[in-house]
Amino acid sequence: MAGIAAALVGAGIVVALAAGGGDAGEKAVSRPAGIAAHPDQSPPKELIAAGKVAVSAYYAVKAEKHANGDGELTYEWSLLNSTTGRYVGTDWAWVDVAPGMKTAAVLERGLPADRVGLVDLATGKVKRWIRTDRGVGGVQFSPDGTHLVATTYRLDPDKLFKDASYRLNGKMVPGPKPSRTGFYVIDVASGQADFTARPPRKDDHGFVVGGGRQDLAWSRDGKLLWEPWETKVGRVFYRPDGAEAPVPELEKKLGSPGAAVSPDGKLKTGQFVGEGGRIVSEVLDVKTGKRAALVPGQQLLAWADDHWLVAFSCDPEQCEPNKGEFRNRLILASLDGKDVIPLSGFRGSRLRDPNRWNPILSNR
């Protein structure tokens, strides 16, 4: 099917590929508006989008080793210029894009940074800086775009240290040092930044859990913050003042932190299942938790609308279910599993391959 796609789909031209058969007389599901597909581009150079979502930015991670035995993970970001519709490489250390895709929050190299920049996606220029008294290592917009959570650190969260080395594949490699100090909740309009101390969380035995980067994130309704934790829902929640909060009922229903909910709130994305040798993932009913559909793809990322999903799908000629990392690309897949539209070219299969870019999907 990959060869057929290459033959039939040129840059920016969308062609649906049959993925599940069906009767010729069945009515096709209408495609989302605003599809922008570039199946010949990896990493993408021009806008990739479908329905309510678009790739607003993407990054690749490069591991570097220093002469003194230390190392670091470097994030290399490309950000959409909404005027030209093209992605532009940047020198920012960290990027997040607000819903509506008009503004990006950025941090300068040399983390932790002492200010947060707000970039206009139409120009690529910083329109305002928000100063902080403590060093910031990561930022994320709230679901409504009105606030930022900026996680603060004593050390660069992506730095690796020789004196924290551990054994990996039989070799000693430099490791991270947890150094989170807390977080700011920033009002984007006014620039008001309120700090709360929140050092790295410890387990019941007093051990710090997690690596160097321990960014806090927003709950789906934007009322709470969370970080990964070993619970049934995989997270622990905090109020904006830093106090621990009960798990919201919605989050209990949705389970996995990565589950995406359909715009109408009825369905959520599930896990890869690969039944019958197929590359498919399940969609679940939010209320019952029961399977509602099987959709082509290894990982369902976002909903373009109530009937179409953006997903990663591997090259059918090079991958098999349950065999690890694969050469894959972004696709748009119909909920009924009958149509697949390639959105990007294939990523490199190796984890550190420079072509193995990671998309940031934002609501348009």
pLDDT tens digits for range 285-310: 999 999 999 999 999 999 999 999 99
Of residues 316 and 339, more confidence is placed in: 339
Residue 19 has pLDDT above 60, yes or no: no
Q: What is the reported pTM?
A: 0.88
For residue 306, what pLDDT is reported? 97
How confident is residue 206, by pLDDT bands cut at 50, 70 and 90? low
Beta-bridge mates of residue 342:
331
* Residues β-bridged to residue 115: 131
Banded pLDDT at 204 (limits 50, 70, 90): low
CA distance 281 to 275: 9
The model's confidence at residue 318, banded by pLDDT at 50, 70 and 90, is low
Does residue 9 surpass a pLDDT of 80? no
Do 180 and 214 form a contact (C-beta atoms < 8 A)? yes
16 φ, ψ to 5°? -80, 135
The proportion of the chain whose per-residue pLDDT surpasses 70, expressed as a percent, equals 86
- Mean pLDDT computed over 50-64: 95
Alpha carbons 9 and 15: distance in angstroms, whole number: 6
**Which residue spans within 223-357 are E strands per DSSP?**
225-228, 235-238, 244-245, 267-272, 280-285, 291-296, 299-305, 308-314, 328-334, 339-342
Q: Is the pLDDT of residue 23 over 60?
A: no
Residue 76 has pLDDT above 90, yes or no: yes
- What pLDDT does 22 receive? 39
Mean pLDDT of 213-221: 94
CA 43 to chain CA mean position, Å: 16
Position 274 scores a pLDDT of 77
Supply the pLDDT for residue 292: 96
Q: How confident is the model at residue 4, as a pLDDT?
A: 28
Environment class of 348 (CB within 10 Å of its CB; exposed 0-12, middle 13-18, buried 19+): middle
Q: Tell me the pLDDT tens digit for each residue of 321-339.
A: 555 456 899 999 999 999 9
How crowded is the C-beta side of 178, counted as CA atoms within 13 Å? 13
For residues 26 and 94, which has the higher predicted lDDT (pLDDT)?
Answer: 94
Phi/psi of residue 350, nearest 5 degrees: -80, 140
273: nearest Cα among 238, 299, 248: 299
Between the CA of residue 201 and those of 155, 207, 305, 343, 357, what are the distances in Å? 16, 8, 37, 39, 30
Average pLDDT, integer, range 267-284:
88
User: Which conformational region is residue 24 in: left (phi greater than 0), alpha (psi within -120 to 50 degrees), or beta?
Assistant: alpha
pLDDT score at 170: 86
pLDDT tens digits for range 238-248: 999 999 999 98
pLDDT of 188 above 70: yes
Average the pLDDT over 335-356 and give the result. 85
Predicted confidence at residue 69, as pLDDT, reads: 92
Name the residue with tokens 């299942």: 273
Mean pLDDT, the chain, whole residue set: 87
pLDDT tens digit sequence for 107-151: 999 999 999 999 999 999 999 999 999 999 999 999 999 999 999
What is the reported pLDDT for 205?
Answer: 60
